[in-house]
């Protein structure tokens, strides 16, 4: 139980301060679980991140769920999800009940300070991962190619395509020097994976049928958010606009309310998919918010326990070592592209912003200053800047 409590508290703290969307969350996760707590190695973290880029749904929440699963089993997975999700879900639920009180929050100095902090955290993660996962010319080439590809080609599946291409390229580029990971000799059963995947696809078929058969607002809302979590690649920035048509056209809320909630979702910490708690609460009260929140994350609950053991098993095979070198390098490139847009574009807009970023990055890179202290430093710097 102590281990589960530690997982929950750690992710709760991350959920309170992880601004900037899924790519920024990867930076916070890397800092916390690879650098600080040593729960995962760089290769384990990169492998899990790559897997969650393949899967539909909230990539950062899936990564957190996977870290919890590795650390504390299924109870640890749910503790990680609950801790990381609870702060933003609570804010979005409160916003649904009192939207006007949040009207000026987006312009506050706190948001600017946290955005600059996010840029510094992600930059540190890119540097650290690049140093360890791209040690030679070939891996650096793959990373730069991945960065270029995801920056130029802007469509939802580009990250998945880039990771697949990097894996194929890695197999041919590194197979002669690739090291084989010792295979796990423990017995392995595919039955749980088959059951969970069957439930995942079964709900995709069954829920729309039931929603059409019964005139139930709650059932239709659950179906809408389950499909959003199960079919959308690209994270919260993709799913929120796509939900607009179904929610507004379906009469669940007015367009102005939807857009206001969308705006709030951009400035709260934690996963953007907690917008579901806002939409559900507006449409059906507290129970509606809980139902929508559960529905949008249901794919995470089903896919990660089903797919992660298979992914780990594949990674042990002889051919996978070379492919994973390419995949790991591509993850560095993808994170580097996101460092510029949206993290840098949204967070560093002036010379004073850049100065605060450099100071924060320096504290993270070249001193043992904890992230919470750098957070206070960024907030203080942003406050002084806003007062001048």
Q: Does the reported pTM lie above 0.85?
A: no
Q: Distance between CA atoms of 107 and 115, rounded to whole angstroms?
A: 12
Q: Which two tokens stand for residue 370?
A: 């904890």
In a domain, 207, yes or no: yes
CA atoms within 13 A on the CB side of 147: 18
In a domain, 90, yes or no: yes
Tens-digit pLDDT profile for the chain (388 aa)? 778 999 999 999 999 988 767 777 888 999 899 988 999 988 889 889 888 877 888 888 999 999 999 999 999 999 999 999 999 999 999 988 876 444 454 456 777 887 888 788 888 888 988 888 899 999 999 999 999 998 998 775 687 788 889 989 999 998 865 555 555 545 556 788 899 999 999 999 999 999 888 888 888 889 989 988 887 765 565 566 567 767 877 777 777 777 777 767 767 888 889 989 998 998 888 888 999 999 999 999 999 999 998 887 777 676 777 888 898 898 889 888 878 887 788 788 899 999 999 999 999 888 878 777 888 899 899 889 888 7
Q: Distance between CA atoms of 217 and 210, rounded to whole angstroms?
A: 11
In a domain, 154, yes or no: yes
DSSP string, 138-207: HHHHHHHHHHHHHHH--STTHHHHHHHHHHHHHHHHHTTTPPPPPPP-S---SHHHHHHHHHHHHHHHHH
Segments of 153-198 assigned E as strands: none
CA torsion through residues 354, 272, 72, 329, sign: negative
In terms of Cα–Cα distance, which of 111, 138, 121 is closest to 357?
121
pLDDT at site 2 = 73
Q: Which two tokens stand for residue 185?
A: 């000799």
In a domain, 281, yes or no: yes
Q: Distance between CA atoms of 64 and 77, rounded to whole angstroms?
A: 8
In a domain, 224, yes or no: yes
pLDDT at site 106 = 47
Determine the Cα angle at 286 with ends 88 and 103, to 5°: 50
Exposure class string for 278-290: b at 16+ Cβ within 10 A, else e: bbbbbbbeeebbb
Long-range residue pairs from 202-207, CB within 8 A, at least 24 positions apart, any chain: 203/230, 203/298, 204/230, 204/231
Assign 177 to helix, strand or coil.
coil
Q: Distance between CA atoms of 344 and 280, rounded to whole angstroms?
A: 32
Domain hosting residue 34, numbered range: 1-109+139-180+187-334
Q: Which two tokens stand for residue 203?
A: 């709900």
pLDDT at site 375 = 83
pLDDT at site 115 = 80
Q: Distance between CA atoms of 86 and 248, rounded to whole angstroms?
A: 26
In a domain, 359, yes or no: no
Q: How many domains does the chain have?
A: 1
Helix (H) or strand (E) segment spanning residue 57: none
In a domain, 272, yes or no: yes
In a domain, 385, yes or no: no
Q: Distance between CA atoms of 210 and 202, rounded to whole angstroms?
A: 12
In terms of Cα–Cα distance, which of 229, 234, 237, 228 is closest to 345?
237
CA torsion through residues 159, 161, 165, 168, sign: positive
Q: Which two tokens stand for residue 337?
A: 């592209």
pLDDT at site 114 = 76
């Amino acid at each position: 139980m102590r281990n589960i409590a530690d997982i929950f508290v750690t992710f709760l703290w991350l959920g309170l301060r992880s601004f900037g969307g899924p790519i920024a969350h990867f930076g916070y996760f890397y800092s916390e679980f690879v650098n600080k707590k040593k729960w995962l190695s760089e290769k384990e973290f990169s492998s899990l991140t790559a897997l969650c880029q393949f899967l539909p749904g909230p990539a950062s929440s899936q990564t957190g769920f996977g870290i919890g699963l590795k650390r504390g089993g299924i109870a640890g997975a749910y503790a990680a999800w609950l801790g990381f999700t609870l702060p933003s879900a609570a804010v979005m639920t409160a916003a649904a009940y009192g939207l006007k009180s949040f009207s000026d929050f987006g312009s506050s100095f706190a948001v600017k300070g946290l955005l600059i902090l996010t840029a510094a955290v992600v930059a540190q993660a890119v540097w650290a991962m690049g140093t360890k996962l791209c040690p030679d010319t070939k891996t650096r080439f793959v990373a730069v190619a991945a960065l270029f590809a995801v920056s130029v080609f802007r469509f939802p599946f580009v990250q998945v395509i880039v990771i697949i291409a990097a894996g194929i390229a890695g197999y041919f580029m590194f197979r002669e020097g690739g090291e084989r990971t010792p295979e796990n000799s423990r017995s392995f059963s595919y039955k749980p994976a088959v059951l969970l995947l069957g439930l995942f696809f079964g709900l995709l078929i069954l829920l729309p049928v039931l929603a059409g058969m019964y005139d139930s607002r709650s059932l239709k809302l659950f179906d809408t958010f389950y499909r959003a979590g199960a079919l959308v690649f690209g994270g919260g920035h993709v799913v929120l606009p796509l939900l607009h048509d179904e929610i507004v056209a379906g009469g669940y809320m007015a367009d102005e309310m939807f857009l206001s909630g969308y705006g709030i979702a951009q400035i709260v910490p934690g996963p953007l998919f907690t917008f579901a708690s806002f939409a559900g609460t507006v449409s059906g009260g507290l129970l509606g918010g809980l139902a929508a929140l559960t529905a949008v994350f249901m794919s995470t609950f089903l896919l990660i326990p089903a797919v992660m053991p298979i992914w780990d098993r594949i990674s042990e095979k002889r051919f996978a070592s070379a492919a994973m070198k390419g995949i790991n390098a591509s993850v560095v490139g993808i994170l580097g592209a996101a460092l510029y847009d949206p993290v840098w574009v949204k967070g560093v807009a002036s010379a004073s912003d850049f100065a605060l970023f450099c100071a924060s990055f320096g504290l993270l890179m070249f001193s043992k200053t904890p992230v919470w202290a750098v957070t206070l430093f960024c907030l203080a710097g942003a406050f002084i800047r806003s007062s001048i």
